[in-house]
Amino acid sequence: MSACNIKRILFTFIIFSFVFSNKSSLPNNFVYLDDFIPNVVIELRYNSSFNFLGRNVDGYKNNKCIVTQNMAEALKKVQNDLQAMGLGLKIYDAYRPQIAVDHFLRWANDETDTLTKKEFYPTLTKRELLEKVYIATKSSHTRGSAIDLTIISFPPSKQESFKIENQWDCSKGNSGSQRDNSLDMGSSYDCFHKISHTNSVIVTPQQHANRLLLKSLMEKHGFKNYYKEWWHYNFIEEPFPETYFNFP
């Protein structure tokens, strides 16, 4: 066998090993959601500056959405129901490592950092974010069976980029130009304000109807909504109810 052929074989083996190790790196019963739902739209906000920290969050290395397999199977049923209407799911966050939750807590306890106040918590102090449990020491996301999501039309339209210097008050709702190509839910993701309560009375009838569409389909397939956040759902039959994970 020539030296050239040996190099090709070694190169192929290295590439195969790298791909295999990446696919095998998740704990048992965890999967990448787009392996189950190839056409799902994933926009992990904590893997960018478009979030209440204004920077990439610790533990987020890429835009790969990780969930428990049981939850992925349930989300696929939701996606199938939406596809019949020309719609689909868009994911903001799913599994969240404990190191990210710790990053949230450090940020919340730093009262000098108010970089994104107007966009995400216009009417609250950071102390109130902790007191009202918008930010907690433990998160159901870290157990792998919570998800933040919305509904999107297909094909997805482009959306305006988020810029720190061009924030708008999220408590005003989505009446103006949106930075999100999803259905209008009446408030933006991670808007810490009563307008984001699922049954808020300060959104329009159409915005409320969009929230109820998401809620009805998620409940149909085994999820429960967190009433303060129209986007947040917990998978009821979660496989790890007492375990908080910390893999990136």
Between CA 237 and CA 221 the distance in angstroms is 11
pLDDT of 13 above 50: no
* SS3 per residue for the chain: CCHHHHHHHHHHHHHHHHHHHHHCCCCCCEEEHHHHCCCCEECCHHHCCCCCCCCCCCCCCCCCCEEEHHHHHHHHHHHHHHHCCCEEEEEEECCCCHHHHHHHHHHHCCCCCCCCHHHHCCCCCHHHHHHCCCCCCCCHHHHCCEEEEEEEECCCCCCCCCCHHHCCCHHHCCCCCCCCCECCCCCCCCCCCHHHCCCCCCCCHHHHHHHHHHHHHHHHCCEEEECCEEEEEEECCCCCCCCCCCCC
Known active-site residue 229: yes
| Geometric angle at alpha carbon 141, from 121 and 105, rounded to 5° | 45
Give helix 69-83 / helix 205-220 axis angle, nearest 10°. Answer: 130
| Residue whose pair of structure tokens reads 């039309």 in the numeric block | 153
| Geometric angle at alpha carbon 35, from 39 and 25, rounded to 5° | 145
Q: Which residues contact 73 (CB under 8 A, 6 or more apart)?
A: 36
pTM of the model: 0.89
Reply yes or no: is the peptide bond before residue 38 cis, omega within 30 of 0. Answer: no
Residue 152 tokens, joined = 């999107």
The model's confidence at residue 3, banded by pLDDT at 50, 70 and 90, is low
Q: What is the pLDDT of residues 210-236, one digit of tens each?
A: 999 999 999 999 999 999 999 999 999
Virtual torsion, Cα 9, 13, 14, 15, nearest 10 deg: 100
pLDDT of 21 above 50: no
The model's confidence at residue 133, banded by pLDDT at 50, 70 and 90, is confident
Q: How far apart are the first and last CA of the chain?
A: 42
Q: What is the pLDDT of residues 111-132, one digit of tens each?
A: 999 999 999 999 999 999 999 9
Kindly name the residue from 43, 229, 237, 238 that is annotated as catalytic. Answer: 229
Model pLDDT, residue 17: 40
Indicate the average pLDDT of the chain. Answer: 90
pLDDT of 204 above 50: yes
Model pLDDT, residue 8: 55
Q: Name the nearest CA neighbour of 192 among 120, 126, 133, 140.
A: 120
pLDDT of 189 above 70: yes
Higher pLDDT, 31 or 10: 31
pLDDT of 201 above 50: yes
Q: Over range 82-93, report the average pLDDT.
A: 97
Half-sphere exposure of 49 (CA within 13 A, CB side): 10
Percent of the chain with pLDDT strictly greater than 90: 80
